[in-house]
Amino acid sequence: MIARVLVWAQYLALPALIIAIWKIADVVGWIQPYTMSAPEEIIASAAEFIEDGTLWAHLKASVERVFEGFGIALVSALILGVAIGLSRRVEIWTSAVLQILQPIPPIAWIPLAILWFGIGEASKIYIIAVGAFFPILVNTVEGIKNIDKRFFELARAYETPRLRVIWRVILPGALPFIMAGVRLGLSMAWICVVAAELIAAQVGVGYMLMDGRSLARPDMVILGMLIIGVVGKLLDDALQLLTKKVVRWN
């Protein structure tokens, strides 16, 4: 019990120190109200937005967009990743295009997303999917390439059907890499939701940030940033727990 308390004390020590320094800076006048809100103002804004339901509306919209875009990225990256990992020909065909597209940041796709899909939900989901796609793809390919070749030889010797090999050999063998890619992809999806909600959004955490900037309310901006950070951490923690359960042998 004491050991757990000590661990939590160490875990929370730095956040508490940052808040204390933040409050001291506010009291002595090192920060201006129009550039940085005091900690208690952030708490008051959070309470206000929770009470009127605004916070839940923004959070719900962002989470739904993240999971829709992430789901598209996950399915497409797994399919293409398995194809590349199993076929040298597919790898050669796709290599140049993927290497050119990968360094392009998701925010650079915003103008094309608007031209292709308009300013509705589809363009936002597209930006999120682009951001989440490559971390999952790269890790899936790397995971397949790291599978012991003897498993493939054994499957070939027993004339195991290709789909069965993928389901029973390839996916379990590459699962540690895939789960690492899923964690990175989900983090990128959550980061990209801010950029995606710059596209004429009327609700969402990204919209909340922009609305706070327009209204010159740093409390709204900081609250939105904290929501992004906290929800991102909770999603990553959930994936870590899932990884421990599905990849027990790693």
Residue 220 is inside which H or E element, if any? helix 218-246
Mapped onto helix, strand or coil, the DSSP state of residue 250 is: coil
Above 60 in pLDDT, residue 249? no
Domain ranges of the chain: 41-246
Are the beta carbons of 67 and 61 closer than 8 angstroms? no
pLDDT of 215 over the 90 cut? no
CATH superfamily of 41-246: MetI-like (1.10.3720.10)
> Would you state the structure tokens that stand for residue 228, as one six-digit string?
């992004």
Share of the chain above pLDDT 90, in %: 25
pTM confidence score: 0.84
> Would you tell me how many other CB atoms lie within 10 Å of the CB of residue 74?
22
Q: Write down the pLDDT at residue 74.
A: 95
Greater confidence (77 vs 171) lies with: 77
The Cα–Cα gap between 104 and 134 comes to 11
pLDDT tens digit sequence for 90-140: 889 998 999 999 999 988 898 898 889 888 889 999 999 999 999 999 999
Contact between 141 and 85 under an 8 Å Cβ cutoff? The reply is yes
The whole-angstrom separation of Cα 176 and Cα 162 is 21
pLDDT digits (tens, 9 = 90+) for 50-96: 888 888 998 999 999 999 999 999 999 999 998 998 888 988 999 89
